[in-house]
Amino acid sequence: MSTESKVGALVLGSVAVLAFAIIRLLGAQLSGHVVPYHTYLQYAGGLEPGAAVLFGGISVGRVTAVRPAAADPTKIEIQLDVMENTPLNEKSVAKLGFISVMSGAALSVTTGSNDAKRLPAGSEIPSQEAASLDAITAKMAGVADNANGLITEVRSELQGVSGDAHTLLANLNTVTGKDNQRKVQGALDNVNAMLATERPKIDRLTDQLNALSLHADETVQNVNGTVSDMRQPIREDLAELQKTLLQTKALLGDMQAMVRANDYKINDTIENLRMATDNLGQLTDSVKQQPWSLIRIKQPIDRQVPK
């Protein structure tokens, strides 16, 4: 055997031994120290048994089975084994992912929250659907259609804007011509002359306004002083008025109590007045019918009719 053959055989043997050692180490690491979990997705995206399970981007296990769910065939049941003590919790979310652009599909699980309760072995991991290639293609097609319509609309609007811009530029050229420049310069000269002529009047008017403002301030201060001087007497008068009202209220209360206490006497007096009025009425009727009773005690004998 040649030297090259011996070297090749040695290299191949070393590679085989290294591969066997790595496989045994991985098997020893995963076997006997894994925990089963499962989750459900509506789109598996080419996920197959043996695909990596990533927890926060770290490989922690493998997918063991991918099949339609028995209870709901519209969902895909994914069985997975992860290393023991992996902190899966109720806030962790499983979704379809990829280790790299060139690699196959993987199952990615978020780290969740440290305060969330840890998931026991065999429980379901909450899932989140990832956008499929078909859905992304459909959305891109819709965006392309909308973009074509938008481009057409923008072109038509740009043509109108371009025409308006040409019109505006023509108007600006007309406005900024030499004739208009001379007119504008003349108007500015007239304004400067008017300002130079009217400036003394404006200064006098400003001085008068300042003087009027000072006088108004003094007037306001005088009014404030007058109001302050009158405030205390008004307060005293109001206090006296309040005291008088309280006394009047107390007097009315006493009069009401006295009237209630003498209510029965007033009723007796009214009853006596009524009886006296009735007696006086009877006396008046008696006097009208027998006026002689005021002079005679006895009634005279009726005269006999002559026979």
**How does pLDDT run across 128-176, given as a tens digit for each residue?**
887 655 666 667 777 767 777 777 777 777 777 777 777 877 777 776 7
Same domain, 112 and 137: no
Considering the domain boundaries, does residue 293 fall inside one? no
Considering the domain boundaries, does residue 152 fall inside one? yes
Considering the domain boundaries, does residue 183 fall inside one? no
pLDDT at 83 over 50: yes
Same domain, 160 and 102: no
pLDDT for position 29: 52
First and final CA of the chain: distance in angstroms? 206
- Alpha helices, H only, the chain: 3-30, 133-175, 178-261, 263-289
Considering the domain boundaries, does residue 258 fall inside one? no
Check residues 275 and 229 and name the one with the higher pLDDT: 275
pLDDT at 260 over 70: yes
Instruction: Over range 269-285, report the average pLDDT.
Output: 81
Instruction: Over range 194-217, report the average pLDDT.
Output: 82
Same domain, 97 and 136: no
* Total count of domains within the chain: 2
Same domain, 160 and 99: no
Same domain, 83 and 125: yes
Q: Residue 240: left if φ>0, alpha if ψ -120 to 50, beta else—which one?
A: alpha
| Percent of the chain residues past pLDDT 90, beyond the cut | 22
| Average model confidence (pLDDT) across the chain | 79
Considering the domain boundaries, does residue 217 fall inside one? no
The residue from 150, 168, 186 where one domain ends is 168
Same domain, 36 and 120: yes
Domain range for 106 is 32-130
Helix, strand or coil, per DSSP, at residue 280: helix
- Measured torsion, CA atoms of residues 34, 36, 37, 41, in degrees rounded to the nearest 10: 100
CA angle 289, 295, 298 (to 5 degrees): 75
Same domain, 84 and 42: yes
Considering the domain boundaries, does residue 157 fall inside one? yes
Could you tell me the maximum CA-CA distance found in the chain, to the nearest angstrom? Answer: 206
Same domain, 118 and 160: no
Is 63 within 8 Å of 47 (Cβ atoms)? yes
Instruction: Over range 10-39, report the average pLDDT.
Output: 70
Same domain, 110 and 144: no
Look-up of token digits 């006497």: 265
pLDDT for position 55: 94
Look-up of token digits 């530029």: 169
Helix, strand or coil, per DSSP, at residue 43: coil
Query: What DSSP designation does 306 have?
Result: P
pLDDT for position 218: 80
Lowest-pLDDT choice from 158-172, 241-255, 268-282: 158-172
The residue from 145, 168, 191 where one domain ends is 168
Considering the domain boundaries, does residue 73 fall inside one? yes
Considering the domain boundaries, does residue 14 fall inside one? no
The pTM score is 0.38
The residue from 168, 192, 226 where one domain ends is 168
Same domain, 37 and 121: yes
Question: Which amino acid is residue 290, in one-letter code?
Answer: Q
Check residues 163 and 302 and name the one with the higher pLDDT: 163
Tokens for 63? Answer: 């997918």
pLDDT for position 136: 67
